Amino acid sequence: MMSDAAETLCNDELKGLADSGYHSAEQLDACEQKGFEVTVAEPQHASRKGRGGRFGRDDFNYDAEADVYVCPADKTLKRGGTIRNKNKQYVIYRASTAQCQACPLSKRCLSPKARSRTIHRSIHEASVERNRQRLKDHPAQARERGSIVEHPFGTFKHNWQMRHFMMRTLPKCQGEFSLMALSYNFKRALNLVGFEALMSYCAQN
């Protein structure tokens, strides 16, 4: 989508803002590799906050220099093998069994059957972490995105009750949507700049 937008707008220096439905480690990495800065809201997965009251991913700190995770008991989880899950690749970081078994925090960390703790880190996690930092650094951007992008959806769906297409087949639906977008843009321009200014702009262009 960023590539399409850059091509349409003839601008390679676009910054992207998106809601959590678009959050994807692979796509964040792909955007970085293409030189796009994107900031995507992050979904609150249970694994990050911890299941059953146990420590979650957010309680473990990644030390990029040493390539280890540091747990709440200040022990390290060292890099092991890799694993594929649902077409995604992760690196496994594992604490030593001896350390976990002797740990006073083990009841708050290990699931009932586990003898040691593991963390799965996506191979694209560095991009996810940079995105997380951008979210922290620029909290106003997410609000700005909402006020720009959610306005058309609210207008179409709630004000105009356009909750489904009247036509069938993709080209006809595209035509129908283009008319909706044209109406929206026209109405929005009228509201923002007023009739006289819009007419004078149209006359000049």
CA distances to 59, 132, 148 from 89, rounded to whole Å, are: 22, 20, 35
Considering CB under 6 A, how many residues would be counted as binding ligand SF4? Answer: 13
Q: What is the token pair recorded at 185?
A: 């843009």
Closest CA to 68 of 79, 57, 83: 79
Shortest distance (Å) from residue 70 CB to ligand SF4: 9
Asked if 128 and 122 count as a contact pair (C-beta separation under 8 A), the reply is yes
- Report how far apart the first and last C-alpha atoms of the chain are (Å, whole number): 29
Shortest distance (Å) from residue 93 CB to ligand SF4: 10
Binding of ligand SF4 at residue 2 (CB under 6 A)? Answer: no
- Of 89 and 99, nearer to ligand SF4 (C-beta) is 99
Q: Please, which of residues 55-74 interact with ligand SF4 by CB under 6 A?
A: 71-73
Residue with tokens 């309680």: 59
Q: What is the token pair recorded at 80?
A: 């092991």
Binding of ligand SF4 at residue 99 (CB under 6 A)? Answer: yes
Shortest distance (Å) from residue 32 CB to ligand SF4: 30
Binding of ligand SF4 at residue 95 (CB under 6 A)? Answer: yes
Binding of ligand SF4 at residue 114 (CB under 6 A)? Answer: no
Give the contact letters, 116-155, x = binds to ligand SF4 (CB under 6 A), - = no: -x--------------------------------------
- Of 72 and 152, nearer to ligand SF4 (C-beta) is 72
Within a 13 Å sphere around the CA of 188, how many CA atoms are in the beta-carbon half? 13
Q: What is the token pair recorded at 160?
A: 């105009």
Residue type, 116: S
Binding of ligand SF4 at residue 50 (CB under 6 A)? Answer: no
Among 25, 28, 38, 109, binds ligand SF4 (CB under 6 A): 109
Asked if 183 and 177 count as a contact pair (C-beta separation under 8 A), the reply is no
- Of 41 and 110, nearer to ligand SF4 (C-beta) is 110
Asked if 120 and 90 count as a contact pair (C-beta separation under 8 A), the reply is yes
Among 18, 93, 106, 124, binds ligand SF4 (CB under 6 A): 106
CA–centroid distance for 196 within its chain = 41
- The footprint of ligand SF4 (CB under 6 A) covers 71-73, 75, 95, 99-100, 103, 105-106, 109-110, 117
